[in-house]
Chains A and B, each alone.
Chain A
Amino acid sequence: MIWKFLLGLYMAIITALAFVIPIGFIPGLGERARIIFLHVPSAWLSVIAFFVAMLYAIRYLKSKNIYEDVKSVASAEIGFLFCFVTTVTGSIWAKFNWGSFWNWDPRETSIFVLLLIYGAYFVLRSAIEVEERRATLSAVYSIIAFITVPFFIFIMPRIMPGLHPGSKGDPEGAGPVVTFKMDPNMRVLFFASLLGFILVYLWMFKLRSRVEILKIKIQNKIYQEV
């Protein structure tokens, strides 16, 4: 239990530092660059979560163990949540940096498509009632869906011209995130924040899986008794 409270404290310190540490001057971004400590780790984390969802999907297809399917869905759900957080924080940032909440920048379009792809994953799951069939189909879907993730997060927004830092034709070079030409303070805090996000993800993933596994166990118990 103690590590959970340490994590709570660690993330609280990271949150506080994100607003107060000096980050140097970044042309075109200024103080608005502080979003990097929340927005970018949550985007990377959604990639990690979708990757873990794919790994458990492969494990399910190999073993046909329903617990692997439960873990795959748990990770996809958290990935979707973080993807949504990335979209919302990015949209708020866009309002102050570009003047409007949404303007179909390649980066915005790609994350929107990604949300649709994983939204369809949950729709697919809810449409099939037979447990084994649902698990098998959604595992296959999860594997195919992950193939698109690196393309939509890392490749497409960087080969197309756009307003987002790191796009092709970015007036500041490749942008502070892509080249890691960040202020040393900023770099340390960014990776510390990423580590904190990963730990929070692991905790959430474990909780979500345990809830679903317990649910299955209780259902089986009731079924056996009836």
Chain B
Amino acid sequence: MSVYEFLEKNSIYLVLIIALIVWLSVFAYLVKVDAKLKKLENEFAKIENKEEIEK
């Protein structure tokens, strides 16, 4: 039985694959936003510290 035939007869697995793709995309987006935000927060903290030292 080919993969196509298997999925045709068990369409629930196709929905499962789509649901997994949706979750993994959302997860990847959250991880990306988290990493970017951390970088920005660190940059901002560095600027603040620098200014405090100069004062």
Chain A interface residues (CB < 8 Å from chain B): 4, 8, 11-12, 15-16, 18-20, 31, 203-204, 207, 210-211, 214, 217-218, 221
Across the interface, which residues of B come within 8 angstroms of A18, CB to CB? Answer: 19
Contact flags B8-49 to A (C-beta < 8 A → 1, else 0): 000011011001100110010011011001001100100100
Chain B residues within 8 Å of A, Cβ to Cβ: 12-13, 15-16, 19-20, 23-24, 27, 30-31, 33-34, 37, 40-41, 44, 47
Known: A11-B23, A11-B27. 20 other contacts (CB 8 A): A4-B30, A4-B34, A12-B23, A16-B16, A18-B19, A19-B13, A19-B16, A19-B19, A31-B12, A207-B30, A207-B33, A207-B37, A210-B37, A210-B41, A211-B33, A214-B37, A214-B40, A214-B41, A221-B44, A221-B47
Contact A8 B24 (CB under 8 A): yes
How far does the alpha carbon of A106 sit from the alpha carbon of B20 in the complex, in Å? 32
Whether the Cβ atoms of A19 and B44 lie closer than 8 Å is: no
